[in-house]
Amino acid sequence: MKKDGIEKAIANGKTALGIEFGSTRIKVVLIGEDHTPIASGSHEWENRYENGMWTYSMEIVWAGLQESYRNLAADVQTRYNTPLQKIGGMGFSGMMHGYMAFDKNGNQLVPFRTWRNTMTEEAAEQLTELFQFNIPQRWSIAHLYQAILNKEPHVKAIAHLTTLAGYVHWMLTGQRVIGVGEASGMFPIDSNTNDFDRCMLRQFNELLKAETISWTLHDILPKVLVAGESAGVLTEEGAKLLDPDGQLRAGIPLCPPEGDAGTGMVATNSVAVRTGNVSAGTSVFAMIVLEKALSKVYPEIDMVTTPTGKPVAMVHSNNCTSDLNDWIGLFEEFTRALGVDIPQSRLFEMLYQQAIKGDPDAGGLLAYNYVSGEHITHMERGCPLFVRTPENRFTLANFMRVNLFSSLGALKIGMDILFEQEQVKIDQVLGHGGFFKTKDVGQKIMAAAMNVPVSVMETAGEGGAWGIALLAAYMLRKGNYPLEAYLTKKVFTGENSTTIAPDSADVDGFSTFMDWYKKGLVIERAAVDALK
């Protein structure tokens, strides 16, 4: 769109707004009628480890939301000399899972427990056995049942259970609803009804009776909606919460709040069967839309859904680039000590590119990037680890390469189940997230790990905030199009992307690394146990 057309679209509210609460950044993207981003804003934040729990306070949730929106409004004013007062539609996305419990008066009962916490093993195992359906530790229902098993006093006062995106949506609209993709990370979904599985609800409610708890899951879980449905409107109070400056008008329709998995699928046009995407940043997860159900339950694989309710196999690793970022932070500290001023983005690019120069197997070096616990390899706590022998080739290139390899190690274990045991077929994987920011490097490493071509779209850097903005636009303009057709015909027509096929030497090198990675897990286990 030309500038004058964009200015008119902003003035007339012919736009859509997406806001995503990521692990390290809150991002806001405004898109025009052609679905392309026209302005953005962001706010950096970080989770905290307090009292044995990974959490974000509600104060920083609202401060971060308001700051990111304020930056967006300023970007609109600067670019188009137009105040941001009317928006056609909007939506919220956030980190999936976790635990946000409230009483009947809307008071938060315990601090927000994020997806990163891995202290629900007992509950997850018992529920997986009960349902015969994999319940990961980070899912909301695992957190709830662990609180019940722990006899936490707040449990009997729960009146509403939701996720971060669901909470913000509730505060701004008054509606206790959630998108089906986000809901699938709270409790199992029946894709025939696009709602929580009724049989499993009854099974859990029987557990509640045994604990003399008066409420049922139906009482406290949010209502499930699918992509394209209306999820309420921005209230006067909500408009003031989002924009304390008072420019934004109430009445904006909102789409169902979705999780970062669903918005990642939308942002990469990976919502149809036989498509897949991988999101790699603080955590890493791969999403494969299935042609048929898996043959059995695997604890390494989560079953979630697309924003329209299609079944998706999800392999999720809690740890991806956090440890690698810490190492680069150390290099940055070193350059400052030398009195050399290198922009952080340039340092990342230079060090990532070194990895391409390393030996295919990273010289025999070994690393574990477990800043937090890792459920796929059964490590309940984080303990980053770097291991080498005197015979290994300890070079900068191999050091960077092994840390990029390690970022995908746990993910690879889960993906091998899909590709080798279940014979799941996909044509290529679409990548997005910080892991792919340096040109070609992340793609080459991911292609080696998954042994399939990896593509990155030009728009992939916009991520989940753009994805939820697209879902808001779909709600407004869907017509008779299903979401898959809308994205293909209305959004991604002519989309430019780059594709890197797996190199055989890289594939063999990563395979060798994985042999060592699996054998070396006993070292990681010993470190976790010894350094409690």
Read off the amino acid at residue 408. L
Instruction: Using the CB atoms, write b or e for 133-157: b if 16+ within 10 Å.
Output: ebbbbbbbbbbbbbbbeeeeeebee
Looking at residue 464, its pLDDT comes to 86
pLDDT digits (tens, 9 = 90+) for 128-182: 999 999 999 999 999 999 999 999 999 999 999 999 999 999 999 999 999 999 9
- Distance separating alpha carbons of residues 25 and 19, to the nearest angstrom: 11
User: Would you state the pLDDT for residue 336?
Assistant: 95
CA 354 vs. chain centroid, Å, equals 28
The pLDDT value recorded for residue 288 is: 93
Contact 473, 36 (CB under 8 A): no
Q: Round to whole Å and give the CA distance between 159 and 170.
A: 14
Nearest of 160, 31, 161 to residue 97 by alpha carbon: 161
The pLDDT assigned to 494 comes to 74
pLDDT at 459: 62
Cα(303)–Cα(184) distance, integer angstroms: 8
- The total of other beta-carbon atoms located within 10 Å of residue 503's CB is 13
pTM over 0.85, yes/no: no
Flag residues of the chain having pLDDT under 70: 459-462
- Which residues touch 515 (CB under 8 Å, ≥6 apart)? none
- Residue 354 has φ and ψ, to the nearest 5°, of -60, -35
Q: So what's the pLDDT on residue 285?
A: 86
Q: What is the pLDDT of residue 411?
A: 96
Of residues 207, 184, 178, 205, the one with CA closest to residue 196:
184
Q: How far apart are CA 158 and CA 144, in angstroms?
A: 10
DSSP assignment letter at 137: T
Give dist(CA 169, CA 253) in Å, integer. 11
CA dist 340 and 65 (Å) reads 35
The whole-number pLDDT of residue 375 equals 84
